[in-house]
Amino acid sequence: MDQNLPILDIADIDFVENVAHMNNPNITINSPLQNIEEISDGVLGLYIYRLYNTKIIYLGDNDYFLEKEIFDPHIFESLRDQYNNTETFIRYVNDILQEKMEYYDYKQIIERYKPEFLNRMKWELEKSVYFLDYCSAMRKYLTVNYKDKLYTKQNIRFHKVFMTGFNCNKCGKYSCEYDFSQQKFVFVPFLTSRTYCDIEHNDNYQYRDLDRYVFYIQGKHTSDYCEDCFKSLPWYLPVAEKKLLISRVLRHYGVPDDLCLLCI
């Protein structure tokens, strides 16, 4: 990447659905001191968010493939239906967990309590309390017996980016810092697994069980890291660098991304 490119103000960048792709590492947000001198440190991020909303600038071909343990909600639901109200599940609850439950079938819970609610929204908001015992037992049963199916290791592509409206999932650092000497907001380099500006779409990163228990699909620290936190992760080196080199070689020879993932 050419480090001699001129400094570019984010206001001059064309975004398509809040996403831009470019190679310029020298991007800032011009903001005269008088505009922020009465803003406390805690709301500088909110100031930027109101000006520019959530945006991502992908910085060229700076990609890293990292192996992460991924939870598969489709497999979870399939196994839950397969063992719902079965003798093996009931025996596990009674003999191993040494518990007795009123319902061993989540469908019976729905049939019993849902008619009491006047509308669907109220049911969705309050139904979790009726599933607590069932869901807790089913999660334990499936995790003990089928963890290798629920969780699989996959290669996840992380992109080097500049961002507005985001925080590091690990340390909480905001993606821009104000430089008082330059009177500019300067971007903190981030690594993200987002492929588009999907900050409002938690279904890509979270799955809620019937009792609203949250499974973090890519782990609790999921998609956005400041560069320092990304490099401090135990699987960053040497695995990430090795996979990055292989992926670039494959991409150079025109191997499609889906095949690249299989090769590394």
Tokens of 251: 């991409």
For residue 87, what pLDDT is reported?
96
Q: Could you tell me which of 143, 144, 170 has the C-alpha nearest to residue 71?
A: 143
Q: pLDDT tens, 13-69?
A: 999 888 999 988 888 888 877 777 666 555 777 778 788 888 999 998 777 777 778
Query: Which residue in 181, 168, 166, 183 sits closest to 9, CA to CA?
Result: 183
Q: For 244-258, what is each residue's pLDDT tens digit?
A: 556 666 666 676 666
| Residue found by looking up tokens 């069932």 in the block | 134
Distance in angstroms (rounded) separating the CA atoms of residues 92 and 140: 10
User: Per-residue confidence of the chain (264 residues) as pLDDT tens digits?
Assistant: 455 677 888 988 999 888 999 988 888 888 877 777 666 555 777 778 788 888 999 998 777 777 778 899 999 999 999 999 999 999 999 999 999 999 999 999 999 999 988 888 899 889 999 999 999 999 999 999 999 999 998 878 888 999 998 889 889 898 988 888 888 888 999 999 887 777 666 666 789 999 999 998 877 656 789 988 888 876 554 455 555 556 666 666 676 666 655 555
pLDDT of 258 reads 60
What confidence score (pLDDT) does residue 1 get? 44
Q: What is the percentage of the chain residues whose pLDDT exceeds 70?
A: 80
Q: What was the pLDDT predicted at 237?
A: 44
Q: Could you identify the residue written with the tokens 């199916």?
A: 149
Contact 55, 163 (CB under 8 A): yes
Nearest to 50 by CA among 173, 227, 223, 185: 185
Q: Which residues of 240-252 are buried (b: 16+ CB within 10 A; e: fewer)?
A: beebbeebeebee
Asked whether 58 and 19 are in contact (CB, 8 A), the reply is yes
For 102-162, give the DSSP string: S-S-HHHHHHHHGGGSSSHHHHHHHTHHHHHHHHHHHHHHHHHHHHHHHEEEEEEEEEEEE
Are residues 164 and 55 in contact, defined by beta-carbon separation less than 8 angstroms? Answer: yes
Q: What long-range pairs does 209-212 form, CB within 8 A, spacing at least 24? A: 209/131, 209/135, 209/139, 210/106, 210/127, 210/128, 210/131, 210/134, 210/135, 211/128, 211/129, 211/131, 211/132, 211/134, 211/135, 211/136, 212/128
- Gap between the Cα atoms of 167 and 157, Å rounded: 19
Q: State how far the alpha carbon of 213 is from the alpha carbons of 22, 47, 132, 136, 264, in Å.
A: 39, 33, 9, 9, 33
Q: Is the backbone peptide bond immediately before 25 cis, with ω within 30 degrees of 0?
A: no
- Best CA proximity match to 244, nearest among 180, 160, 163, 127: 160
pLDDT value of residue 149: 95
Structure tokens at 184: 């500019």
Instruction: Provide the pLDDT for residue 241.
Output: 52
Q: What is the token pair recorded at 20?
A: 């831009």
Determine the pLDDT at residue 212: 93
The answer to whether the Cα torsion of 73, 76, 82, 85 is positive or negative is: negative
pLDDT on residue 238: 42
